[in-house]
Amino acid sequence: MRRISDKRRAFLIRSQKRLWLKQRRHANIRRHQKYAHQIFKKKHREYFETKETRERLRRKLYIASYNAPPLQVPITGEFGIEKSASLDYFLQTASTFIDFNNKHLTFELSNCTRMWPSAITLLCSLMQWVELTTRPPKKRRKPQIASTPSNSDKVNSYLGHCGFYDYVKRLRDTKQDYYSDEEIVKIQRETTPKNIENREDEIIGLLSKYSLFSPDQIKLFDSIVLTEAFANVTEHGVSYVDKGWWVLAQYHITHAIISLCIADNGIGIRHSLMTGPQAPDISQEVDNTSSNDGEFIKMALEKTVSGAIAAPQKKNGFIVKGYARGVHRGNGLRRITDTCKQLEIPFSILSHYGYAFVDKNGIINKYGSMPSRIFAGTLYHMVIPARKELQNASN
């Protein structure tokens, strides 16, 4: 054994002691942080409870196994909610495949004559839904989703042009492009709220170029409708895990409209309201069942109800219940509806089983629920009046 000097021995003892003190200091910091977090959790108990409830609910919604025999979904004619004539067909068709549990899902598009942006958003949300339900550690078999090409070259071209084929990582069916890049805000995989500002700028650019709105009207639309819609969407679609949110806007020259879709794959309006602090009050008015999804959307559009984690409770007033002065009130969807009414924009919401269509006068002309889901999350859709002069010029 080697002999060490006293000096060396003292040095080793000192360094050992320093290391021990450092470890003790770090242990104390960790203990303090743990304690501080416990205190913080206790102080904001409702906030954490709501968050945990929503996460549990989300996990419950993700339970899906894809074992059933292959399913073919034929899509004929126009598919989307942009035109009122095809609304019922869209709702019926969407309800047949959003909750699918088949090994293979094939969209038969050969007789499809038009895919509207709302339909593209629906398919992208479905793709993301499947990805979320089969994400590790869940060892579920991933279903195969495919589509046949359409007999219409324009449909095939549009699926490539709008960003859908890039989204699902598929090669384009046709080389011919009928559409201009200036007339679209393409759909893409959005993973961070930092992209919101860019998307807003792109939408504003599209509106400035093609809509009938004045600069002040565009500012109003931007400040209220876009801000509120994006706030709702990112609250549910952005997290540590990419749960999905999408934007797709398209100027349709032949119909003189801009179709704008903003969507997320969140827990939906009903679940959001029923897991928030206002749930006891809301449950007195409507039963918490999927057949009432439409009623919940209508309520969110017409009344000041909030699904926010920090939403306050209404207090008993002289005649009716109301909020205390200065508190956050849950006006988001009502603000969107009012502004759309002011700007004469038809506006619609699809959320899980429910739907509501508001006309340009702000009247809910159709709402209700389907027996199975019609959208994996929540879709906000607007039909913005656009210029016809360009149409005449091109003709």
- Residues 128-187 touching another protein, rule: CB under 8 A, are none
Residue 327 binds another protein, judged by CB under 8 A: yes
User: What DSSP line would sit under 354-375, residue for residue?
Assistant: EEEEE-TTS-EEEEEE-SS-S-
Residue 126 binds another protein, judged by CB under 8 A: no
* Contact window for another protein (CB under 8 A) among 62-70, 93-101, 222-230, 376-384: 222-230
Helices (H), the chain: 6-43, 45-61, 87-97, 117-133, 153-161, 164-167, 195-210, 215-220, 227-237, 268-274, 279-283, 293-302, 332-342, 389-394
Q: Which of 33, 223, 283, 361 binds another protein (CB under 8 A)?
A: 223
Residue 329 binds another protein, judged by CB under 8 A: yes
Residue 235 binds another protein, judged by CB under 8 A: yes
Q: Which residue has the tokens 């088949």?
A: 102
Closest by alpha carbon to 270, among 42, 20, 57? Answer: 57
Q: From residue 273 to residue 302, what is the string marking binding to another protein with x (rule CB under 8 A)?
A: ------------------------------
- Give the type of residue at 16: Q
Residue 310 binds another protein, judged by CB under 8 A: yes
Residue 64 binds another protein, judged by CB under 8 A: no
Residue 193 binds another protein, judged by CB under 8 A: yes
199 vs 373 by CB, closer to another protein: 199
Residue 319 binds another protein, judged by CB under 8 A: no
Residue 380 binds another protein, judged by CB under 8 A: no
Closest by alpha carbon to 374, among 91, 105, 106, 132? Answer: 91
Dihedrals phi, psi of 55, to nearest 5 degrees: -70, -40
Q: Could you tell me how many residues of this chain bind another protein (CB under 8 A)?
A: 32
Residue 325 binds another protein, judged by CB under 8 A: yes
Contact 228, 333 (CB under 8 A): yes
- 260 burial (CB, 10 Å; 0-12 / 13-18 / 19+) is buried
Which positions lie near another protein, rule CB under 8 A?
47, 193, 197, 216, 219-220, 222-224, 227-228, 230-231, 234-235, 238-239, 304, 308-310, 322-329, 331-332, 335
